[in-house]
Amino acid sequence: MPIVLSVFLWGCVNSIYDAPETTCTEDGLKANATFSEIKQLYKGEVIRIKKDLVVEGYVISSDKAGNFYGTLHLQDRPEHPEDGFQIDVDVRDYHLFYPVGKKILIRLKGLYLGKSGGAIKAGGVFTYGGSAPSVGRLPASQVNEHIFVSCDPPEEIVPEVATPEALNDTMVNTLVRLNGMEVAPEHICQPYAIAEESGTDRILRNCEDQEIILQNSGYADFQSRILPEGNGTVTGVLGKSDDNYQLTIRDTSDLKLADERCGGLVYSCDSTGANVTVAYIRKMYKGRTLDVPGNMKIRATVISDRSYKNIDAFSAVVQDSTAGIICEFTSTHQLNIGDKVELSLLNTVLEEKNGLLYVGNISPENVISSESGPRPEPEKILLSGDLAAYENELVRIEGVQFEIPGLTYSGTRILTDCRETLKLFTREKAVFAGETVSSKQGNITGIVFKNDDEYRLRIRNPNDVRFTEAYEDCLGGTNLMITEYVEGSGYNKYMEVYNAADVDIDLSGYMLVRDYNGDGDFERYVMELSGHIASGEIAVYANPRAEIFQGEIRDTHGNAIGYNGDDQVVLMKNGIIIDHIGIPGENWGADKTLRRKTDIARPSSAYDENEWEIYPQDDVSGLGIR
C-alpha cells in the first residue's frame, strides 16, 4: 500500500518533472519479449509485472509541440510494424532524450500494466478515492531504472499507409498515414483545439465519407491555429477510445492538406464574402439534423417564384453553379425570382423534410445582400434522366406533353414523351392552380423536388410551360377502351373493356386504376389485367361483392372497382393513360350506368361526356354487349 500511495503522489500532479540526463544506456540489455506477449498478460485488471521482461521499440511520438503529454509511443519496427506500445512517463521535453526514430528498451519488471480507452499501456500506478488502481505516469526518478536508450543511430520511421476503413487494433500505437483526407465541414474554420481542454476531437473525412477522429490538446503550441481547408495526407499515432480510432499528430507538419477538396468544393475562412458553395452545404448533411457551423455564407440565385404561390411564403429555393437547396425562413421573406442573394448561415440548421434537404431557421437578418439579376439558365435533361442529381435545381425537359389534356394544374399531373412519364405537382394555393393545362406539346421548365420518395417537377409559374407543337397520339391508333361504367347500389360496381382493334391484344402491362375523390393520383387503387383479349371481344370486371350481373366476369378487384361516383377511372398501359372517365372534383358518376356510344371506336385520355349515354342505377342490361 505505501508503494501505491507514493506513485499516486507523483502521477497525479499537473506538471511534468524535468527528465534525468539520459545517454546511450543499453549496456548489453537485450529484448526477451514482444509487445504482443506483454499485452497478453493483461486480463482485464491492472497488474504489476514481476518477471524480468524486456521489450524494445522505436519512438514514434514527440512532445515537442505539446500535443503529447507524458505518453511515449513505440512500435516494434521502423517500417511495416506488427505492433505498438505505450508507456506513460513523468518526463518533460522527452523528445530531447527519446527523439523520433530512436530505439529504446524497457525493463518492465516493477511496472504496471493496464488499459486506457482501447490501448494497453505500461507505467506507474495511482488510485483515487479508494477506487481500483489505474496505470499512470512513471515518476521521473524511476525512469532511468526502466527506460534505456540504444546506442544505434535513430531510424527513419515510415508511416503505414491505410484508409480509415482498413484500420485495426494491431495498428494502435503505431504511426499511420491516411491519404485523401480533409477536415469535415462542421469543423472548418475552427482551431485545432479548444484552449486548456485536454483533448478536442475534430473529424477528418475522405471522399468516400470514411471518417477518423483527429484529437488535439488544448495545451499544444498550435492549439489556436485554424485547421487547414484543403485535402491531403495526415500522419499520426493511432489510438483508440471506446470503439473509435483516433489520430494524434506530433505537430502541424503531420497535416498536409493543401490539395483541392472532394468534388472540387471550395471553402474559405475569409470573413468577407461568400465562403462556401451550396454543394458544400449539401455534403455536410449525414442523415441527421445538423447545426450549421458559424462563419458560413453562400451566394446564390433565387429560382423559386413567391408571387405565384407555388411554394410556401416562408421558403425560397436558391441555386449556385454547384447545386440548389431550399431555404426556410422564420418569417415571410421578400426574395424574388432571379435575385442574387448573399446569405449568412449563422444559427441555422441543416435538416431533411419529406425527402428534401433544407437550410432551416433562417432569420430575415441573415440576408446580407440581395439584388435583382438575370435568371439562371435551366439544365437541359431527358425525361428518363437521373432527377436525383438535380434536386432543388432548375431543369428543362423538351418534347413532352400532359398525359391528360383538359385537366387543371392543381395536384399531380403526368408529363409524358410517349415513352417515359414524370409527375408535375402544383399546390392548391398556387395562383394558377385552377388553370387548364395545355393540350399541345413542347418544353417545360421547373424545379426538381421530392415527395413520397419520388422525384417530381414543380413549375414556378405558367410561363414555364411552352407547349406549341401538336399533341402526339402516344398509342399510335386504336387500342383498348372502356365502354361501360356501372356505379350501382351497394357493391354493384362493374367496368367493361372492349378491344376495338383488329388484332388480339396481350393484356400484360394494362391496368384499370381509380383515384380518390378525383385527386388525380392514379397509383393507389390498381387492378393489373392479365391474359389476352381477342379483336372485338368484351371483358367485364367487377367488385368481388357485386351480384346483379349474371354474365361472365373476367376478374374482380375490391379497390380499383370500388368507386363511389366522384372517383376518376382510367385504363393504363405501362403507366400511360389510354382511356379516361370522370371529372376531377365533381360527383359526376354517382348512382348511374354510363354506356359508351357505339359510334365511338377509339379511347381518349381526356374524358368527354358527350361520348357516353346515361342509364339508371343498377342497369346492367348492356354489360358484355357491344
Lowest-confidence pick of 94-108, 328-342, 469-483:
469-483
The predicted structure's pLDDT at residue 283 = 85
The predicted structure's pLDDT at residue 611 = 96
Rounded Cα distance, 332 and 572, in Å: 42
Region of 70 (left: φ > 0; alpha: ψ -120 to 50; beta: rest) is left
Contact criterion met (CB below 8 Å) for 190 and 214: no
In percent, how much of the chain has pLDDT > 70?
Answer: 94
The predicted structure's pLDDT at residue 242 = 82
> How far, in Å, are 484, 512, 514, 548, 582 from residue 543 at the CA level?
14, 12, 13, 11, 18
256, three cell numbers:
498536409
Highest mean pLDDT, choosing among 107-121, 195-209, 409-423, 485-499: 485-499
Rounded Cα distance, 599 and 20, in Å: 110
pLDDT digits (tens, 9 = 90+) for 557-611: 999 999 999 999 999 987 788 899 999 989 999 999 999 999 998 898 889 999 9
pLDDT digits (tens, 9 = 90+) for 236-279: 999 998 889 999 999 999 999 999 988 777 776 665 555 788 98
The predicted structure's pLDDT at residue 301 = 96
pLDDT confidence band for 98 (50 / 70 / 90): very high
Contact criterion met (CB below 8 Å) for 529 and 512: yes
The predicted structure's pLDDT at residue 496 = 98
Q: Among candidates 57, 83, 82, which has minimal Cα distance to 72?
A: 57
Q: Among candidates 436, 338, 420, 434, which has minimal Cα distance to 381?
A: 420
User: Is pLDDT at 525 greater than 70 in this prediction?
Assistant: yes
Mean per-residue pLDDT of the chain = 90
Q: Among candidates 126, 148, 115, 144, which has minimal Cα distance to 24?
A: 148
User: Is pLDDT at 360 greater than 80 in this prediction?
Assistant: yes
Q: Which residue has the higher pLDDT, 511 or 27?
A: 511
The predicted structure's pLDDT at residue 466 = 97
pLDDT digits (tens, 9 = 90+) for 99-158: 999 999 999 999 999 998 778 999 998 877 667 889 999 999 999 999 999 999 999 999
pLDDT digits (tens, 9 = 90+) for 272-305: 555 788 988 898 888 899 998 766 889 999 999 9
Q: Which residue has the higher pLDDT, 8 or 39?
A: 39
Q: Which residue has the higher pLDDT, 479 or 146?
A: 146
Helix (H/G/I), strand (E/B), else coil: 550: coil
Rounded Cα distance, 159 and 85, in Å: 15
User: Is pLDDT at 6 greater than 80 in this prediction?
Assistant: no
Three-state SS string across 180-202, please? Answer: EEEECHHHCCCECCCCCCCCEEE
> How far, in Å, are 58, 314, 350, 523 from residue 305 at the CA level?
66, 12, 22, 29
Rounded Cα distance, 552 and 453, in Å: 40
φ, ψ dihedrals at 4, nearest 5°: -60, -45
DSSP assignment of 38-87: HHTT--SS-EE--S--EEEEEE----TTSSS-SEEEEESSSSS-S-EEEE
The predicted structure's pLDDT at residue 126 = 81
User: Is pLDDT at 614 greater than 90 in this prediction?
Assistant: yes
Lowest-confidence pick of 18-27, 31-40, 200-209, 252-261:
18-27
Rounded Cα distance, 478 and 497, in Å: 13
The predicted structure's pLDDT at residue 13 = 33
Rounded Cα distance, 76 and 447, in Å: 59
The predicted structure's pLDDT at residue 418 = 82
Average pLDDT over residues 617-623: 96
